[in-house]
Amino acid sequence: MDKEKDRREALSRRRFFGSVAGGATEAALIGAAATVEAQAETQEAPGAEAVKVTLHVNGQTHTVLAEPRWTLLHVLRDELGFTGTKPGCERGECGACTVLIDGVARYSCMTLAVEAADRQITTVEGLMHGDELGAVQQAFLEEDAFQCGFCTPGQLVNVEALLRKTPDPSIEQIREGVSGNLCRCGAYTHIFRAVHRAAELKKAGR
């Protein structure tokens, strides 16, 4: 009986020390992993160094320090203060962030700032004629082509691009032209009328 008791006690001690050793090993591994993760967080991501980027926005030249991963949307709003360009879905679906790059409508959330370097960028602020509304802006006002207004800057810029390419668009061309800009309020009928009105104002020299 004593031998059996001693054997059970020896097994219990081995299990105890084994569990302690296992726990210590696990704790050491977790600690090592945490240290590696902390070191990784303190290291700069490859290629994240800021670079000088020259952007021509609404006829003015700006030089900013930007990380290569920064979008044009971020730089326009947060670095240069052009807050008319709106962040919406930020994945190239809603069109709220539309700007013109060399006269072509582009989603600024899907365009890197470095891609737009040394090119001509027009935001909604650039559609103004001094202190006066541009033709597209005036037409949207006259035709009540907005409700909440959040999508309106992107709509305005996109319509400007459409009319530069097609000065007298048909309703089919208008529908296709504005299809990349979503209006959650559903003001499309008013937007279509505003495009026709903007075309008239542009012909009149506005």
Exposed/middle/buried for 146, CB within 10 Å: 0-12, 13-18, 19+?
Answer: buried
The CATH number fitting domain 46-127, selected from 3.65.10.10, 3.40.50.1000, 3.10.20.30, 3.30.300.20: 3.10.20.30
Encode pLDDT of 1-13 as tens digits.
555 555 555 545 5
Confidence tier at 205 by pLDDT (50, 70, 90): confident
The CATH number fitting domain 128-206, selected from 3.30.565.10, 3.50.50.60, 3.90.50.10, 1.10.150.120: 1.10.150.120
Confidence tier at 29 by pLDDT (50, 70, 90): very low
Confidence tier at 16 by pLDDT (50, 70, 90): very low
As a whole-number percent, the residues of the chain with pLDDT over 90 amount to 76
Predicted model pTM: 0.76
Instruction: Map 107-134 to HEC letters.
Output: EHHHCEHHHHCCCEEECHHHHCECCECC
Confidence tier at 30 by pLDDT (50, 70, 90): low
- Domain ranges for the chain, please list them: 46-127, 128-206
Encode pLDDT of 70-86 as tens digits.
999 999 999 999 999 99
Encode pLDDT of 133-185 as tens digits.
999 999 999 999 999 999 999 999 999 999 999 999 999 999 999 999 999 99
Taking a C-beta distance cutoff of 8 angstroms, is the pair 123, 57 a contact? yes
Q: What span, in angstroms and rounded, lies between the C-alpha atoms of 143 and 198?
A: 10
Q: What span, in angstroms and rounded, lies between the C-alpha atoms of 80 and 55?
A: 10
